């Protein structure tokens, strides 16, 4: 406990699913937390209330990570309120399953914008803050589909693959400033986010060595580790909580 005491974290997409679980875990470990959300205001308010009950400070800030002005306002508000930014979790994302023959340019661009443009804008805005502090942690959520792909998920897989390379390049750029950049590539996590039918999910779970799908709570240890001093020698690395589906 208290591995993140005194730290301030920003979590995009922090009002639902994986982001919400990470926000709770960070607060339990002593961090003040700002969650960025673009849909689900009542859920965002619920998260803030939950975090404040732990004795930590919390904010919920409506932010479209694809909009430069929104991201600038997010980082500015967190810095003005909490005084610093120690951890950025790039968690905001979307999914859409469709054959490539039915995919529009708008579909493709939206997938790239949310994942790649969003990560770029958030990282660009927190980098100067962390550089001035000479410390920081950036954690980027990618996916095992960046490695193995999936039919009907070509755009999503491509976007997540781009985040892997983005992580490695940014890690090299920011490491001299005391900022560690790493990523997490989960397998199929049961958040209601993935549009796969339930029977497909059950079959997938049966195929795994662990014989079950992951839950958001199965990932929080990796996020806490990468945000803490325990990860001080991790730079440009990717952790793979996937139930044993792939073993890179």
- pTM exceeds cut of 0.85: yes
- pLDDT in the model for residue 197: 83
Helix (H) / strand (E) containing 141? strand 136-141
Residue 247 placed within a domain: no
Least confident of 84-93, 146-155, 202-211, 220-229: 202-211
Catalytic residue among 147, 153, 156, 233: 156
Q: Give residue 25's domain range.
A: 8-239
- Calpha distance 219→215 (Å, rounded): 7
**The two three-digit tokens of residue 245, written as one number:** 């589906």
Say yes or no to pLDDT of 194 above 70. Answer: no
Say yes or no to pLDDT of 133 above 90. Answer: yes
Residue 58 placed within a domain: yes
Count: domains in the chain: 1
Residue 113 placed within a domain: yes
Residue 3 placed within a domain: no
**The two three-digit tokens of residue 162, written as one number:** 């781009």
Neighbours of 197 (CB within 10 A): 9
Known active-site residue 156 = yes
pLDDT tens for each residue of 18-32:
999 999 999 999 999
The helix/strand/coil state of 10 is: strand
Residue 146 placed within a domain: yes
Residue 2 placed within a domain: no
**Where residue 192 falls among pLDDT bands split at 50, 70, 90?**
confident
Say yes or no to pLDDT of 76 above 80. Answer: yes
List strands edge to edge, sheet with 238-239.
58-62, 32-37, 8-12, 87-90, 136-141, 179-184, 238-239
Say yes or no to pLDDT of 78 above 80. Answer: yes
CA-wise closest residue to 126 among 66, 86, 168, 98 = 86
Q: Which residues pair with 89 in a beta bridge?
A: 11, 139
CA-wise closest residue to 179 among 129, 144, 142 = 129
Say yes or no to pLDDT of 97 above 80. Answer: yes
Residue 244 placed within a domain: no
**Where residue 191 falls among pLDDT bands split at 50, 70, 90?**
confident
Residue 1 placed within a domain: no
CATH of the domain at 229: 3.40.50.720
């Amino acid at each position: 406990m208290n591995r993140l005491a005194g730290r301030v974290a920003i979590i995009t997409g922090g009002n639902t699913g994986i982001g919400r679980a990470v926000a709770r875990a960070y607060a339990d470990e002593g961090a003040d937390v700002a969650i960025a959300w673009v849909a689900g205001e009542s859920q965002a308010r619920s998260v803030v209330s939950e975090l404040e009950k732990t004795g930590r400070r919390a904010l919920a800030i409506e932010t479209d990570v694809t909009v430069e002005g929104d991201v600038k306002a997010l980082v500015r508000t967190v810095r003005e309120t909490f005084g610093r930014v120690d951890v950025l979790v790039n968690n905001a994302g979307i999914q859409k399953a469709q054959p490539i023959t039915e995919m529009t340019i708008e579909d493709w661009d939206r997938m790239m914008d949310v994942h790649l443009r969003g990560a770029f804008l958030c990282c660009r805005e927190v980098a100067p803050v962390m550089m001035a502090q000479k410390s920081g942690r950036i954690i980027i959520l990618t996916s095992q589909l960046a490695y193995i792909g999936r039919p009907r998920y070509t755009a999503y897989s491509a976007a997540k693959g781009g985040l892997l390379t983005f992580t490695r390049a940014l890690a090299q750029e920011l490491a001299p400033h005391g900022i560690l950049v790493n990523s997490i590539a989960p397998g199929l996590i049961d958040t209601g986010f993935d549009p796969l039918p339930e029977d497909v999910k059950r079959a997938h779970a049966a195929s795994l060595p662990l014989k079950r799908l992951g839950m958001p709570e199965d990932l929080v240890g990796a996020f806490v580790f990468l945000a803490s001093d325990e990860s001080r020698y991790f730079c440009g690395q990717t952790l793979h909580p996937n139930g044993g589906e792939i073993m890179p």
